[in-house]
Amino acid sequence: MNKQLTLGVDLGGTNIRVALVDREGRVQAKAVHKTESAQGGEHVVRRVEAAIEELLNDNKAKLPAIAGIGIGSAGLIDVREKTVLYAGNLGWNNVPLGRLLEEKFQLPLRLANDANAAALAEWLWGKAKGKSNLLLVSIGTGVGGGVISGGRLLEGVGGGASEIGHMSVDIHGPECGCGNRGCLELYASGTAIGRRAEERRVAALAEGRAGIRTAPWPSAVEVRQSALEGDALAQEIIQETAYYLGMGVVNLIHLFNPEEILFTGGVMDSETFLLPEVIAAIKQRCIPALYNQITGIGLASLGGEAGLLGAAGLHFVEA
């Protein structure tokens, strides 16, 4: 392929980010638009179309160099049909986004889950560059993941591989919206941290436990801050989160034998908070021979740009 640019789209519940990216992972042009997901699926599709159209119109001289459009979207993806099968944050079910955009813009289009796209970006241009086997774990509102195995993005038959947030870490746990029980996402996501902390706070107050804060914890951010300030209950929640997250990652190590493990997302934004506890839990439970083959466990390097870059990078790797 002699075309040196792709147009990447990072489709989230809040923002649609679009960029022209070259083969070295450098952003040549970029724009951000509000998703406006509350106005319905058809409206969001039109918003994506408008965002792409605007970027193309602003960069007409670069059109001959564009190889195609790559989209990273939250949710369950069918890469063959270029369809978003389900995306709760968009209110989507079976939206043929890729085919609609391919028809409109007459450019080749590839579609991937956003966490898979982030893993691809870290492998192409980030901290895992040069590594053939990568496990990326994204901890934010939900829990997502991406796997590079043998130098290829692991997608599965339809693109649904690496839905790690929905592997069970407690067979007797609460029911998840996916239909499973005890999913990792119910214990380790930012949403779960805030919910579990508030449930435990209310229960502890009812039991008359000493030293319990009376103000609610509105989110995981406040739970984290309380833990840093020495709140015992908040620290318990964080330790439990590290335990469940570590357990989930150990399962993935035993499945995929990665050489690099990277964490990303709003919950994992510090080398000194949560990550050391997660690493300790992994080391405690992992088969030593597999643990010893891991060359690095740490934070991803591309941050919030990873999904956008990885979406563009879909056209720079073999399908």
100 close to 45: Cβ distance less than 8 angstroms: yes
Residue 300: count of CB within 10 angstroms of its CB: 24
Distance CA 96, CA 102 (A): 10
Distance CA 150, CA 7 (A): 26
For 303, phi and psi rounded to 5 degrees?
Answer: 55, -135
Residue 87: count of CB within 10 angstroms of its CB: 24
296 close to 268: Cβ distance less than 8 angstroms: no
Is residue 78 annotated as part of the catalytic site, yes or no? no
Distance CA 144, CA 162 (A): 7
Q: Are strands 134-139 and 143-149 parallel, antiparallel or unpaired?
A: antiparallel
Burial bucket for residue 175 (CB in 10 Å: 0-12, 13-18, 19+): exposed
261 close to 296: Cβ distance less than 8 angstroms: yes
78 close to 38: Cβ distance less than 8 angstroms: no
| Rg, C-alpha atoms of the chain | 20
Catalytic residue among 114, 170, 231, 269: 114
Question: What is the 8-class DSSP label of residue 304?
Answer: G
DSSP codes of every residue in 18-63: EEEEETTS-EEEEEEEE--GGG-HHHHHHHHHHHHHHHHHHTGGGG
* Widest Cα–Cα separation across the chain: 69
Q: Which residues have a catalytic role annotated?
A: 114
